[in-house]
Amino acid sequence: MKKKTLPSPEEFNALFCKACDAHQEQNYAKAKSGYQTLISYFPEAPILHYNLGLLLFETKEYVGAVESFLLAAQGNPKDVDILYNLGLSYKKVGDNTTAIMMYAKVLDLEPGSADALYNMAGCYRDEKNYEDAETTYLKVLELEPGHLAANNNLAFVYHLLGNTDRAISSYQKVLELQPEHKMAEHMLAALTGAAVSSPPHIYVQEVFDNYSDRYEQSLVVELEYAVPATLKDIVTAGDKWKHFFDYGLDLGCGTGLGGEAFCDLIKRLDGVDLSPKMIDVAYDKEMYHSLYVSGIKEYLLEDVGLYDFVLAADVFAYVGDLQEVLENLHKRVTADVLFCFSTEKCHGDGFELLSTGRFAHSAAYVSKLAQSTGWRVIKQQTSSLRKEKGTWIEGDLWFMGKGEPQRVEEK
């Protein structure tokens, strides 16, 4: 068997520089081919596996990134950058336990690494190990008291632990550091009982962008959420509306759970959501004709479609005041439309911002608003929406048709 001729040092440098240049220019195919060619000559060179790992991470090939960084670590087991990137890659493949181990190795070598501590805390948080997450975020803040993200995440952890006073204090610290921080502003309002009519768009977008990669696992498996399927069962069993539709709109479509439930009943289904990352997941399911990154109110003002089916499953908890949505949607539907949606239940006659940061709506509020904005309530049903800390959250499922706006006298 003929022995493979190794490139000279000059040839190696030229090939390596070409691969690195292609990588920097985001010509990933060329860069990947270049790294792999060099690895075939020098299979134990840590720098080659490290660079290939960076490329695979950038192209979201996280399993391959783990493999490449592991090979790099074999040749250089105490390289902090390799271990740190291994931690990032293990987290991306859902292995938080091993990611924590990688960050621990980084901290053995660099005890003052705030970045490693911050990422480790995030892994603890995602594993619902909130006590260790709290401890680790506090270590970050010992090193960097002004670390905005650590303060914000610590507030979130305190909230989950039920320590409202510390959560409020931490959100106040976030606002001291960044007065325009909309997420902290909204959550502080929720925890202090401030009157809020709707959340800022950036709050909703950030919540769901950060949640997108584990959204369905958390909502469907852990919280036993099945609102879209329940709505569909009622639609298909009902006799007060048609059962097949020409043009549907999924408001706040998220990752497409609603689309999965209803797509076989609708010829064309469009979706709209504030979170680009949630839209990316929905796009990959290939159920929607068109998908739009937009706020609901903004989309309805710009859209010119006429829909005979509209879905808003677990959406209005992130809207609050429904007046504009119902008014604008009424202009975008056919006479035989079916509008299905869910709301969390609250007492009283209006809607309220809960300590969770979500909105709840009373049945009286929704019924009254429907009448004044031209909607006709065909059916309303109380239902368990999802679990929260092991307890079912109660809400209402609504089925509406188009009517004429009526003046509702104030009592």
Q: What is the DSSP string of 362-411?
A: -HHHHHHHHHHHTEEEEEEEEEEEEEETTEEEEEEEEEEEE---------
pLDDT score, position 330: 95
Q: Is the pLDDT of residue 296 over 80?
A: yes
- Whole-number Cα distances in Å, 265 to 55, 256, 260, 271: 42, 15, 10, 15
This prediction has a pTM of: 0.84
Q: At 410, is the pLDDT very low, low, confident or very high (cuts 50, 70, 90)?
A: very low
Percent of the chain with pLDDT over 70: 97
**Per-residue pLDDT tens for 353-381?**
999 999 999 999 999 999 999 999 999 99
pLDDT score, position 13: 92
User: Chain-wide mean pLDDT for the chain?
Assistant: 94
* Helix H or strand E encompassing 40: helix 28-41
Task: Give the span between the Cα atoms of 80 and 50, in whole angstroms.
Answer: 12
* DSSP structural state of residue 345: B
**Per-residue pLDDT tens for 230-285?**
999 999 999 999 999 999 999 999 999 999 999 999 999 999 999 999 999 999 99
Q: Compute the average pLDDT of residues 149-165.
A: 96
pLDDT score, position 388: 87
Task: Give the span between the Cα atoms of 85 and 81, in whole angstroms.
Answer: 6
By three-state DSSP, how is residue 253 classified? coil
Q: Which residues have a Cβ under 8 Å from the Cβ of 19 and sit 6 or more positions away?
A: 30, 31, 33, 34, 35, 38, 51
Listed residue (232, 294, 296) closest to 265, CA to CA: 232
Q: Compute the average pLDDT of residues 27-47.
A: 95
Neighbour-count burial of 97, counting CB atoms closer than 10 A to its CB (0-12 exposed, 13-18 middle, 19+ buried)? exposed
Angle formed by the axes of helices 114-126 and 130-143, to 10°? 160
pLDDT score, position 81: 97
pLDDT score, position 271: 97
pLDDT score, position 118: 98
- Whole-number Cα distances in Å, 238 to 108, 232, 248, 360: 63, 10, 18, 26
Q: Is the pLDDT of residue 3 over 80?
A: no
Residue 236's CB is within 10 A of a number of other CB atoms, namely 12
pLDDT score, position 6: 83
Q: Is the pLDDT of residue 1 over 80?
A: no
Task: Give the span between the Cα atoms of 319 and 317, in whole angstroms.
Answer: 6
**Per-residue pLDDT tens for 169-213?**
999 999 999 999 999 999 999 999 988 899 999 999 998 998 888
Angle formed by the axes of helices 28-41 and 46-58, to 10°? 160
Cα four-point dihedral sign 104, 106, 111, 112: negative
> Mind listing the domains of the chain with CATH numbers?
9-192 (1.25.40.10), 210-402 (3.40.50.150)
Cα-flanking dihedrals φ and ψ of residue 275, to 5°?
A: -95, 115
Strands laid side by side in the 266-273 sheet: 290-293, 266-273, 245-251, 307-312, 333-344, 391-402, 375-388
Q: Compute the average pLDDT of residues 77-105.
A: 97
Q: At 405, is the pLDDT very low, low, confident or very high (cuts 50, 70, 90)?
A: low
Residue 180's CB is within 10 A of a number of other CB atoms, namely 9
CB 396 within 8 A of CB 345: yes
CB 310 within 8 A of CB 371: no
Listed residue (397, 355, 27) closest to 227, CA to CA: 397
Nearest-Å Rg of the Cα atoms of the chain is 26
| SS3 track for 137-183 | HHHHHHHCCCCHHHHHHHHHHHHHHCCHHHHHHHHHHHHHHCCCCHH
- Whole-number Cα distances in Å, 16 to 37, 50, 70: 10, 13, 20
pLDDT score, position 2: 53
Percent of the chain with pLDDT over 90: 87
Task: Give the span between the Cα atoms of 323 and 193, in whole angstroms.
Answer: 22
pLDDT score, position 213: 80
pLDDT score, position 411: 40
